[in-house]
Chains A and B, each alone.
Chain A
Amino acid sequence: MGLKLQQSYHHSVTVKVNEQMGTKRGYTFIQANRAWLPKFFLLWVMVMAFLSTWIYKKMDADNKVRRKEVLSSMCDQRARMLQDQFSVSVNHVHALAILVSTFHYYKEPSAIDQETFAEYTARTAFERPLLSGVAYAERVVHSEREKFERQHGWTIKTMKREPSPIRDEYAPVIFSQETVSYIESLDMMSGEEDRENILRARATGKAVLTNPFRLLGSHHLGVVLTFPVYKSKLPPSPTEQERIEATAGIFASTDIYCIIVINTSNLVLLDQIQLPALLYLGGAFDVESLVENLLGQLAGNQAILVNVYDITNSSDHLIMYGHQNQDGDLALLHESKLDFGDPFRKHQMICRYHQKAPTSWTALTTAFLFFVICLLVGYILYGAAIHIVKVEDDFHEMEELKVRAEAADVAKSQFLATVSHEIRTPMNGILGMLALLLDTDLSSTQRDYAQTAQVCGKALITLINEVLDRAKIEAGKLELETVPFDLRSILDDVLSLFSEKSRNKGVELAVFVSDKVPEMVMGDPGRFRQIITNLVGNSVKFTERGHIFVKVHLAENPKPMEGPKAETCLNGGSDEDALVSGTRQFKTLSGYEAADERNSWDSFKHLVADEELQYDASVKMKAADEASQSVTLMVSVEDTGIGIPLIAQDRVFMPFMQADSSTSRNYGGTGIGLSITKCLVELMGGHISFISRPQVGSTFSFTTVFGRCKRASFSDTKKPNAEDLPSGFRGLKAVVVDGKPVRAAVTRYHLKRLGMLVEFANSIKIVASTCGKNGSSCGSKTQPDIVLVEKDSWLSGEDGGLSLRTLDRQQNGHVFKSPKMILLATNITNAELEKAKAAGFADTTIMKPLRASMVAACLQQVLGTGKKRQPGRGMLNGSSVLGSLLCGKKILVVDDNMVNRRVAAGALKKFGAAVECAESGKAALKLLQLPHSFDACFMDIQMPEMDGFEATRRIRMMESQANEKMNGGTEEGSIRTGEWHIPILAMTADVIHATYDECLKCGMDGYVSKPFEEENLYLAVSKFFKTKPISDS
């Protein structure tokens, strides 16, 4: 995410947030049309329903077309079959007619009689499956009737079986098939239909059909086929007239008609309907079987209904076969033309399906499935869209929450910043008052308390800053500063923070810094302090007895030489002594066992010894030091506390983790300290580790890399946080009486920082004897000025008090003033105190933990008021001192503000300085053109055009150019042995740290706060006016 909100203000955050939202709300298509989604879905469903209906319809239509085709093909097939069978029958009847004409007319006498005909027709009946029977009628004109009747022996009868009335001509049946033998002797002309038929057949010479009609005595339909037989042979293409002539020509003799009776039931072969009867008379025929046979031959006969119509009269269709009104599918029918060879008659076959078209399940299923699938697809898409919308909504919501959380985070940081800023203001008041208090005449204890309060106050301010840093660390935005600082004084400060607590617990708190560690290092004092504070704080929290020991030495230290142990202990045999004491005494600071043996005396003494050696060759070492740019320090914090349980050891550095839940209950704390410490250590280029044994203690060690401080730069710019240790103790001799070598080394370390020469003694007796000896022989040379006695050593030796007195007495015997006796104690009861006073420690008791400044304060008190007023400390007569410092100096004051300028000038003049003023940076630059005669310059920072920083930078540039030139050329021209470097002091109203850093960065030497205060001014001025001669010399 491109949110960069860290430290910006809240309103700007919200603005950014809004912008963010603006750009982020690039909705997707789906999101933009969310309201339309259900409608889309509905539309989809509707479209799909429509589509599936269409599919169904199309498939159904296909089905219908196919059905129609099937129907038409079936219908045509039936019509063709019927027609074929019909024409076969007609052909046969034709053949029969030729047979009759051949054997009846052309033979004389006739070769055929009724019997022959009957038999012949019966035997050839299979040839005429459609005909139920055939008969032959002869043409008889009225004039020949009698002759005919006589010849045959019967009279011509009408259809009604009555003797025929007189007519022009008759057509009595003479031969008949057996099946229709009952029509013999009937006059075919007597029936209207038949007569018409016969006449038409005679005229056309073709087979002719009657209308279908109901036969007498039955309701069956029938058709009569009439075929003419001519007596004479016809010309190849006879006209109609010729035909009539031919028949007429033979009319009198042979008036013969061939009467063919069509059994319509044979049509019914195609159907299952009841059979019609014969032409003139109904009769029982064996048609059933015939029908069955043909049914078997045709497939699909079950499915369709067949009707046959005579459509000669187009307005009135006569049904020949089938029922007029039937169920069945009336919607679909097929008509097929039938041609029975009679041009006069027209026939038609109409087929229908027996049942209505069945519902097309395939189409229905296909359409339905299609619909269902589409519905599902639609639903899936709809669901996906809904889901996308929901996810996007959630995403936006989350984003908003995230932005809000980040804003809250910023607000929190801001709150912290504000609050800590607010706390800082009153804290400044407290610190100021403490500073004032410290300037009053205080007893050493009061001074210590006040100093402690002041230091604690300072630490509190630092801690407040650290609260901010904690947030910074969490955000990974921590930047380390690189400023010179005094490691030792920081350690002292930290220790003093915890001194009260440790004293109450009876825990000994000590710090030791190897001599090889440079006095000033470049690094981040605040972070270093934070690390130490965290570690020591932890240790103090978890330690109830024993000691807490902070040790700093060079990590790049090659293993201490195992050469001669140049110990200056008065008693070198401390090892044996510890063993002699018998009890399980460990050679650690307090005698308790520590987790890490490295800090016990065995290894520690090598370190110390090493230092002793190197101390002599310090010049050489320092030269070597200058060579390398950085110095790696190894810091270890050892305690004899409860230790860390083994199972918890691997999560010690995880945030908010304590050894177990009971820990926070018993000891409080959040457990974030160590994780921050780890971060800081890693930021400083080191790493942290620890060794811990439950119920024995823990030792945290870490390495850290600091830059080496250029000697030249820090002699001029003594940092304010490097507290000035009084130098009045330089060269004093002290004897430390302590049975525990580590502790003795610590004490010596502090005394050495004050410039004192320190010796060890294992017990008071030894001191006494040594003093006695030396005192008499060598005099003051080895005479200790101060004897510091550890409380344990004093109490353990019963003879302590005695020997002290002896010591006193011996001293009194001499001219030399007696050494001051000082008791060192971690905690001391009143009774013990009394006893101590009685025993001769009248001078003072120094409470541990030792700090150089505190020791110095105590020593000042002990060694008399004369030294109490250290030049660095005593401010009360500051004016005169200031006067002496500034008298005759030429000082330039640069300030754009006239009033300020005047006031500053006035103040400086008061102290005897010659003051010149400049009202801008440019003017100052002009005045400071080299060579000039100014001794110092006070520079306002905030000035128009060119501010103090810029002006200083330019001045420094000028100077460095001049210096280069000077170094290149001869040195005689310059009055000063040193280089051009005018002390420039910033004058500023705000004295926050950042400004100070800025001052240093651009080459200033210090600052004084506006408005001038004497003390302030003195401190600033004294630094360079005093140090100058020192560094020059």
Chain B
Amino acid sequence: MDVVNQLQRQFIDYSASLHREGFLDDQFTQLQKLQDDNSPDFVVEVASLFFEDCEKLINNMARALEQQQGVDFKQVDASVHQLKGSSSSIGAMRVKDVCIAFRSFCEAQNREGCLRCLQQVTHEYSLLKNKLQTLFRLQQQILAAGGSIPVVE
């Protein structure tokens, strides 16, 4: 049980740090709460959906912003909006925050700003992905060790 306990503590610490550092917010906790026996992989499922979505959107935006001239800001904006919605749904706070800034640049049709934001988004996204994957690994380890995933309040 020590292993389980240790893992559980590690899990709690880790998710607490994620919250502290602003990667995740309460929405993620809400998601975790939604996960029960009926849908044991709910969070992972949603997260992978999110990653897919993110990658697609980031690619879209990067493509759209590649153009030196005549950038279709409307399209970029739509993508950012999508991304913002997804990220707020999953509780990815930092991604969401960057998205907000991103949108304002889009509205101002500032290509430079958009590119900068895109970079940030990509950065935040990859960070988050790593963190979440770590978290999920921990989860799996706990489960594999026969423990239950502690609820983080």
Contacts and interface: CB of A to CB of B under 8 A. Distances in A.
Interface string A894-906: 0011111011101
B49 A902 contact: yes
> Which 8 pairs between the two chains have the least Cβ-Cβ distance?
A899-B86, A903-B89, A900-B89, A897-B85, A906-B34, A899-B50, A1011-B27, A910-B34
Contacts of B33: 910
A900 B34 contact: no
Counting chain B CB atoms within 10 Å of each CB, which of A897, A899, A906, A1011 scores highest? A899
A793 interface: no
A900 B42 CA distance: 13
Nearest to B86: A899
A899 B38 contact: no
Interface in B11-53: 27, 30-31, 33-36, 38-39, 42, 45-46, 49-50, 52-53
Contacts of A944: 78
B31 A903 contact: yes
Given A898-B49, A902-B49, A989 B88 contact: yes
A918 interface: no
Nearest to A907: B34
A942 B84 CA distance: 12
A1014 B30 CA distance: 9
A906 B39 contact: yes
A903 B90 CA distance: 8
A909 B40 CA distance: 13
Given A899-B53, A909-B39, A1011 B45 contact: no
A1012 interface: yes
A898 B27 contact: no
B46 A906 contact: yes
A896 B39 contact: no
A1010 interface: yes
Contacts of A910: 33-34, 36
Contacts of B45: 902
B39 A900 contact: no
A904 B88 CA distance: 12
A1012 B52 CA distance: 22
Nearest to B88: A1011
A897 B53 contact: yes
A1013 B82 CA distance: 20
A900 B81 contact: no
Contacts of B31: 903, 906
A899 B34 contact: no
Contacts of A1013: 30
B86 A897 contact: yes
A406 B49 CA distance: 52
B34 A902 contact: no
Contacts of A899: 46, 49-50, 53, 85-86, 89-90
A897 B34 contact: no
Interface in B50-69: 50, 52-53
A1013 B88 CA distance: 12
Interface residues on chain A, size class: 20 to 34
Nearest to A879: B33
Interface of A: 896-900, 902-904, 906-907, 909-910, 942, 944, 989, 1010-1014
Contacts of B88: 989, 1010-1011
Nearest to B92: A899
Interface residues on chain B, size class: 20 to 34
A897 B49 CA distance: 10
Contacts of A1011: 27, 30, 88-89, 91
B59 to A, nearest CB: 15
A903 B53 contact: no
17 contacts: A896-B82, A897-B82, A899-B53, A899-B90, A900-B85, A902-B45, A902-B46, A902-B49, A903-B89, A906-B31, A906-B39, A907-B30, A910-B33, A1011-B27, A1011-B88, A1012-B30, A1014-B30
Contact of B38 (A896, A898, A909, A989): A909
B24 to A, nearest CB: 12
Q: Is the interface of B mostly helix, strand, loop or mixed?
A: helix
A906 B78 CA distance: 25
B70 to A, nearest CB: 21
A377 to B, nearest CB: 63
Nearest to B25: A1011
Contacts of B90: 899, 903
B93 to A, nearest CB: 11
Counting chain A CB atoms within 10 Å of each CB, which of B39, B78, B85 scores highest? B85
Interface string B78-105: 1001101110111100000000000000
A328 to B, nearest CB: 101
A1011 B93 CA distance: 12
Contacts of A900: 85-86, 89
A942 B88 CA distance: 15
B71 to A, nearest CB: 19
A529 B90 CA distance: 40
Contact of A942 (B30, B50, B53, B81): B81
B46 A989 contact: no
Contact of B85 (A906, A1010, A1012, A1014): A1010
Contacts of A942: 81
Contacts of A904: 89
A896 B36 CA distance: 25
Counting chain A CB atoms within 10 Å of each CB, which of B30, B52, B81 scores highest? B30
Contacts of B50: 899
A774 B3 CA distance: 74
B114 to A, nearest CB: 20
B129 to A, nearest CB: 14
A899 B89 CA distance: 7
Contacts of B52: 898
Contacts of B42: 906
Contacts of B91: 1011
A318 to B, nearest CB: 115
A756 B122 CA distance: 62
B89 A1010 contact: yes
Contacts of B34: 903, 906-907, 909-910
Contacts of A902: 45-46, 49
Contacts of A898: 49, 52-53, 86
A900 B83 CA distance: 10
B102 to A, nearest CB: 15
A897 B78 contact: no
Contacts of A1014: 30
Contacts of B49: 898-899, 902
A1007 B66 CA distance: 38
Given A900-B86, A944-B78, 19 more contacts: A896-B82, A897-B89, A898-B49, A898-B53, A898-B86, A899-B46, A899-B89, A900-B85, A900-B89, A902-B45, A902-B46, A903-B46, A904-B89, A909-B39, A910-B36, A989-B84, A1010-B89, A1011-B30, A1011-B88
A49 B88 CA distance: 91
A899 B45 CA distance: 9
A910 B36 CA distance: 8
A989 B84 CA distance: 10
Contacts of B81: 942
Contacts of B78: 944
A946 B139 CA distance: 40
A944 B42 CA distance: 27
A946 to B, nearest CB: 14
Contacts of B39: 906, 909
Counting chain B CB atoms within 10 Å of each CB, which of A900, A942, A989 scores highest? A900
A897 B90 CA distance: 12
Contacts of A897: 53, 82, 85-86, 89
Nearest to B87: A899
Contacts of A909: 34, 38-39
Nearest to B45: A902
A904 B27 CA distance: 12
Contacts of B84: 989
A900 B89 CA distance: 6
A408 B81 CA distance: 34
A906 B42 CA distance: 8
